[in-house]
Structure 1
Amino acid sequence: MTRILMLFIAVALIAGLPAESGFAQTSAPAFDVEEASRAYINTLQGEELEKSNNYFEGGYWLILWGALIGVLVDLIILQSRFSARFRDWAERVTQRQWMQPALYTLPYVIAGFLLTLPWTIYTGFFREQQYGLMSLDFGSWFGEQVIGLVISLVIFPLLIMAIFAVIRRAPKTWWIWGTGVVSIFLFIGMMLGPVFISPLFNEYNEMAEGPMRDKIVAMAAEYDIPADHIYVFDQSKQHKRISANVSGIGPTIRISLNDNLLERTDPDEVAAVMGHELGHYVLGHIWRTIVILALIIGIGLFVVAWLAPRLIERHGSRWGIRNMSDPAVIPLLSLILTAYFFAATPALNSLVRITESDADRFGLDTAREPDGFAKVAMRLSEYRKIEPGPVEEMLFFDHPSGATRVRMAMQWKADNVENPQMLNPGKLEQE
């Protein structure tokens, strides 16, 4: 179930749009949207195109295998009766029923971490290193995994304690109140994450004074976005991907750019990225995300509330599970939610992709840098397939594809720029 919590946090902390390089301008008698788009899309060719496609298409299988491994790990914990032993240990430690679920989660989270560690090492380190997307050595990478584990050991017991309090008090409608509990945790995570969690992985410093900062401040001021603090964080130590975000809620709202964005891109690209990120804030995507996730989680908890008692009735004695309020049921709940979220992946991807597309349109209107936006879209080809088929994009892409974004930018250019010029972007740097 830790994996489900991390999914919530990962989706909740809305990521930014990446960026890089320069090109020469040439005049053209007429501006053709498709021709202008192909000029960008065709900059990715040969080995680089094959590498990008292989990496991203391989991720399709990771979705399946990751779900299967998650289900298998929870089955092992159930079938071996480790879950019942974790429960028995919690009951020996304290007689307070409200604390027992929180104590149970400590060995459960650690066991899940250890059992999935070989898969995590392959997908999170060796595969990333194989495709040139990892800057950390193994020791540094593993250190970050341990930090993530410690965070889970703090947050997850609190979440589980709250959910089981609801199960005990409202055994028939707990899934409704449980949805509210998870939504509150999402809200708190979005508000406090930028201040207390993000700095555990990266160092944040004020952006230096200069024309680029002035541009960002002016863009933020146009929409009354607090811009007293604009931070640059050292994500180049982990990878070379470009990103930025407007994160936090209320007093914790902050604008952050990673150092890759400033070091690998031109000012028009930075402006395009920040226009997109400001769009998430202005369009209320944080609140939309909370509402949509609450609905999706609510359906998932309803499925759990319907299915879990039936499985307990059939297999509970073999697993050592007494009833739904028994902490030993946690792996069963996690197993059902893992299968549910796997089945819901296309819907989740589409919901996020629609939100990102809205922010793209806002960013184009705000930054008015269609060619900077197109160059940024091409940067994503380092780790995202540039031109998928429509069904493929619907099923597997949680952001619009690079080709979709480039065409959007060129169409915006045709519609909003007086006498738009055809540009030859040349080869964008990929190192």
Structure 2
Amino acid sequence: MRKWLTGSIFLYFIYGLFMYWYLFVFSGSGVPAPYTGTSADPATFMSGRELLLSQEYSTIKNFLYFVTVPFEWFLFFVLLITGISRKMQEWSDATTRFFSLQSAIYFFWLSIFVTVLSFPVEWLGYRISKAYNITTQSFPAWMKDQVIDFWVNYALMTVIVIVLYWLIKRFEKRWWLYAWLLSIPFSMFLMFVQPVLIDPLYNDFYPLKNKELEEKILAMASEAEIPAEHVYEVNMSEKTNALNAYVTGIGSNSRIVLWDTTLNRLSDDEILFIMAHEMGHYVMKHIYIGIAGYLLASLVGLFFIHLLMRLMIKHFGTLLKIRSIKELTAFPLFLILIGVLTFASSPIANTVARYQEKSADMYAIEMTNNHEAAVSSFQELSKAGLSDVNPPTLVKLFRYTHPTMLERIVYLEEHGEKE
């Protein structure tokens, strides 16, 4: 056990050093020479201080992301190899004879363990965002969101754990298939209720106060055949200076939402371009394509997790203190594998997402025919979020679900020159 723990810590340290070298030493900043001085060059729309802060903040944020992703895997590994996971199962078994309650108790202790040990990292991310004036949220308000996060995730995951292990116990060889089939209605249900049940736990939503702007947005929605009767505004200025807008939910619970920071900082023309972009996703049915892609990926992923768990328990079960896949003790191994597979597949998922985002951008520019507003909206988004317009390759591959700001501004400019 000591050898494995020492080895894993050493590998984690080497990985952290590599990411530090890659982000802080190897990767350069700025834009390629052909775009220097163009509207895609942050030096043309950011002050010297904003440019410096964006480079610092983006690099620190990316480094924190890459070193914290495997940190949770490491925590789950420690739970297994030290036997803490088995102790948690023994506590839950001794508390009640009902399996559903045993699962809830086990997952509660697992959640507490991970939350407490991850808290310093979460707090560091909050402090960095606060220091760069991205986050405006007070510490008590931030803690309130953390507590809400904990209980929402605990409630949802407890249901998943109970159903998952009931399936594993009942259908040991085909559990992955039945779990996938049940995940379809469950995912659709969550997407349907999120706008009306989950999102309001974190923020206050209300009809857009600017009725003239709402009429313009709804007119665009009508043109795009989107069944929307209201545009919602959400009070995000208490939490962040970043900008955002989105269309959420499915069916009758679909909502068009604007952050108040976006309303306060952007002009009507810029907001209309952003709204047209979001409508483009709806028109091109990206949400349903995304659901189909997620379901396909989850089917393949669950099958591989089934195979890998059986293989790892067979060869390393003694080391990990796992006797059978049917034990709750094995759940951290399930979480490690799903985390690793999700991270490994993220470049593919992000590539598809970036293609969809570019398509939505082109839809928006065709609908609004306002290149100046489109470019300036992306510039303002970069300034507000201190975004790196031209991030390093690994950052783009693993983190960017949208094209880089450099790419977005360049192809909008090229589109304008063709007209």
TM-score (normalised: structure 2): 0.85
Q: How does 1:58-69 map to 2 (within 5 A)?
A: 58-69=60-71
* One-letter amino acid matched to 1:408: Y
Aligned residue in 1 for 2:406: 403
SS at match of 1:295: helix
1:394 CA displacement: 4.0
1:114 aligns with 2:116: yes
Aligned residue in 1 for 2:388: 385
- Return the alpha-carbon distance in structure 1 between the equivalents of residues 43 and 292 of structure 2: 36
* One-letter amino acid matched to 2:418: D
1:100 CA displacement: 3.4
1:261 CA displacement: 1.2
**8 Å contact 2:137–2:240 — kept in the other structure?**
yes
Structure 2 residue runs without a partner (length 5+): 1-34
Q: 1:65 to 1:39 in 2, by over 3 A?
A: closer
**8 Å contact 2:234–2:259 — kept in the other structure?**
yes
- Superimposed CA distance per residue, residues 361-407 of structure 1 (whole angstroms, 9 cap, x where no aligned partner): 11112222221111121123233211246676445422111111112
* Greater RCO (Cα-Cα under 8 Å, separation 6 or more): 1
Aligned residue in 1 for 2:83: 81
- Return the alpha-carbon distance in structure 1 between the equivalents of residues 312 and 265 of structure 2: 53
1:267 CA displacement: 0.7
* One-letter amino acid matched to 2:49: E
* One-letter amino acid matched to 1:242: L
Aligned residue in 2 for 1:8: none
Q: 1:189 to 1:114 in 2, by over 3 A?
A: same
Aligned residue in 1 for 2:415: 412
1:277 CA displacement: 0.9
Aligned residue in 2 for 1:252: 253
Q: 1:388 to 1:320 in 2, by over 3 A?
A: closer
- Return the alpha-carbon distance in structure 1 between the equivalents of residues 168 and 394 of structure 2: 40
1:308 aligns with 2:306: no
Aligned residue in 2 for 1:374: 375
Q: 1 or 2, which has the higher helix percentage?
A: 2
1:227 CA displacement: 2.0
1:337 CA displacement: 1.8
- Superimposed CA distance per residue, residues 307-359 of structure 1 (whole angstroms, 9 cap, x where no aligned partner): 21222223334544231111111111111222222222322322221221121
1:182 aligns with 2:183: yes
SS at match of 2:340: helix
Q: Which moved more, 1:40-49 or 1:302-311?
A: 40-49
Matched length: 384
**8 Å contact 2:266–2:380 — kept in the other structure?**
no
1:286 CA displacement: 1.5
TM-score (normalised: structure 1): 0.83
**8 Å contact 2:192–2:249 — kept in the other structure?**
yes
1:412 CA displacement: 2.7
**8 Å contact 1:244–1:256 — kept in the other structure?**
yes
Calculate the aligned-residue CA RMSD, in Å.
2.4
**8 Å contact 1:205–1:231 — kept in the other structure?**
yes
**8 Å contact 2:129–2:135 — kept in the other structure?**
yes
Aligned residue in 2 for 1:92: 94
**8 Å contact 1:109–1:153 — kept in the other structure?**
yes
**8 Å contact 2:43–2:51 — kept in the other structure?**
no
SS at match of 1:237: coil
Structure 1 residue runs without a partner (length 5+): 1-32, 417-431
Aligned residue in 2 for 1:324: 325
Q: 1:415 to 1:50 in 2, by over 3 A?
A: same
SS at match of 1:235: coil
Q: 1:306 to 1:362 in 2, by over 3 A?
A: same
Matched-pair identity in % = 25
- Superimposed CA distance per residue, residues 137-181 of structure 1 (whole angstroms, 9 cap, x where no aligned partner): 111111110110010121111112222222223322322332333
